[in-house]
Amino acid sequence: MKIVVTVKQVPDPNSTYTLEADYSISREKEAVLDPGDECGVEEGLQLKEAHGGEVVLVSMGPERARDAIRKGLSMGADRAVLITDAQLAGADALLTARALAAAIKSEAPDLVICATESYDGSTGMVPPMLAELLGVPQLTFAKKVEVDGSNVRVHRQTADGYQVVETAAPALITVTAAIAEPRYASLKGIMAARSKEIKQVTLADLAVEPSEPAESIMSVADAEARKAGQVIEDDGTAVDKIVQVLAAAKVI
Amino acid sequence: MPAILVYAELSEGKVGSTSLELMARARQIGDVYAVALGRGARTAAATLGKHGAKAVHVNEDAAFEDYIAEPAADAVAALVDREKPDAVLFGFTPDSREVAGRLAARLGVGLIANASDIASEEGGFVCKIPYFGGSKLASMKANGKPAIVLIRPKSFEASESGGTAEVKELDAPVAESSKRAHIVERVAEASEKVKLEDARVVISGGRGMGGPQNFPLLEDLASALGGAVGASRAVVDAGWVPYSMQVGQTGKSVRPGVYIAVGISGAMQHTVGMKTSKVIIAINKDAEAPIMKMADLGVVGDALKIVPALTNAVKAKKNG
């Protein structure tokens, strides 16, 4: 079974994000493999271990995204493709999906695994677009994946529980962090990753023409900020203070 | 007036609350019609008419709810092709975004996600989009024709405007080739006593709760206050509590009278889903946590001690 896992380098989720002059999220702190993607890589590796095959990482980003890709390779992925192109700076979800689709098509995978959403954009729009462009069904919000021959079955998280959803491969799956605990890269894995291939391609290589972005930013303003309130150390009176606030808000 | 198509998300035959919220804004900025797919679509059309839809395109094929996204994307694409709306609005909800994503890719027009408002300006549409947990608000002009916009739940108040929609049967037979991602079973896990979205008090727990074994402390406080328990993405991701409890950008948006954040640092993913709460109380070990800067009352201390004491105090006050 051939599995493609999409991966993205994102600003460290534990840092505070800032904006560049062109309103894009500052990539100064860009340093980590998206934690959601780590779960995708882990699930891909587990499926490979159970069913055989190959795990290929596909990413889009600047050249330094190789660092994040390298992490996925040291976890055990076999090789990677990185789409790098100056024309992709500030790409919207559709252009991102078109570029990824072009790169993934030439791999002809049985399964494409994506995180449900990235940690920086958090809109989750690329996976359904990618599924459409690849012409495959989407099994989304998966917290469990089972593969039996060409049949793929997931447990899809919903507001009040989960659904069992199945389809025939090829398919695209989005996974939540509940899918699998990402493994730590072993020393051996880190050493092995150094010699694994990261194939770098441009939009021209993929025959993708940039499209008009879905939106033009007109302005960015500070939203009405909540006034900072009172911060107190709990010296034993905090509970009384909270009760007063609850009473003032008329909920008790 | 621009023509606006609203995608009405149905759940067990009922129109989702976010879809009705969209109607309230849509009817202010254009002529609104809606599309309702799946069992109950005709009943839904009557509701949508009361909320300002002039016409509702319906198709009651069960395939729309039994297969993920593809049949619905096919039907909406066919309708867009025929009716040429200026904008197509979706709720920014898990099910709707899957349909919207496929639709946008099929039409090749892109979309605007996570919007908190939309206005009709200069012959086009301008959307407001919150960034960084809602601390920044961007204005974006939609370039797509049609403009496909996904709007956050709780952005508007739903209200009936009176009216009756013309019900039109949508001639969009579901292709066998789109019956692929098949929902074969539905399993209910959480039975919410008070619905998170509707609760007047929400108590949410984060990593600072230490582990799933301590969440009953929050349940106790919630039942004393008649509220509901939510959670941050971090603990949902860690599997402590079900996804249905997640408050945040891709979880639920809440706007209760009082929001109590316990052991939650206040990552932007989370705050965008709760920052419009009337009163925010934060309990956290870290005085520097971002949540402290937006709380009306921030308490620096041990949540595992404060929460049970608070529950007792609330009970005492109610009984006294």
Please report whether residue A237 resides in a domain.
no
Q: Are residues B156 and B213 in the same domain?
A: no
* Element of type H or E holding B76: helix B70-83
Please report whether residue B184 resides in a domain.
no
pLDDT (0 to 100) of residue B193: 67
CA dihedral B250, B252, B253, B256 (to 10 degrees): -160
Domain that residue B162 falls in: 3-178
* Element of type H or E holding B235: helix B233-237
Tokens 């508007």 sit on residue: B156
Buried b / exposed e across A160-187, counting CB within 10 Å, b at 16+? bbbbbbbbebbbbbbbbbbbbebeebee
Q: Which of B122, B145, B178 is at the close of a domain?
A: B178
**Encoding tokens for residue B216?**
């009953």
Q: Are residues B15 and B142 in the same domain?
A: yes
Instruction: Note whether A167 contacts B189, CB cutoff 8 Å.
Output: no
Please report whether residue B190 resides in a domain.
no
B48-62, B92-106, B124-138: least confident range: B124-138
Query: Which of A92, A105, A125 is the mutation pick for testing B, counting most B CBs within 10 A?
Result: A125
Please report whether residue A152 resides in a domain.
yes
- Minimum distance, in Å, between the CA of residue B316 and any CA atom of chain A: 11
Tokens 């892109």 sit on residue: B110
Query: Which of B14, B17, B68, B135 is the mutation pick for testing A, counting most A CBs within 10 A?
Result: B68
Residues of B in contact with A95 (CB under 8 A): 110
CATH number at residue A167: 3.40.50.620
pLDDT (0 to 100) of residue A16: 65
Q: Are residues B144 and B260 in the same domain?
A: no
* Mean of pLDDT over chain B: 93
Domain that residue A120 falls in: 2-206
> Cα–chain-centroid distance for residue B29?
21
pLDDT tens across A43-69, in order?
999 999 999 999 999 999 999 999 999
CA dihedral A77, A41, A131, B92 (to 10 degrees): -160
Q: Is it the case that residue A28 has pLDDT exceeding 80?
A: no
Round to whole Å and give the CA distance between A34 and B68.
Answer: 26
Cis link prior to A170 (omega < 30° from 0)? yes
**Interface A:B, Cβ pairs < 8 A:** 279
Domain count, chain B: 2
Q: Are residues B115 and B237 in the same domain?
A: no
Higher-confidence residue of B195 and B20: namely B20
What is the ipTM score, two decimals? Answer: 0.89
Bridge-based pairing of strands A111-115 and A171-175 is parallel
pLDDT (0 to 100) of residue A4: 98
Please report whether residue B186 resides in a domain.
no
Please report whether residue B62 resides in a domain.
yes
Q: What 3-state class would DSSP assign to B166?
A: strand
Domain count, chain A: 1
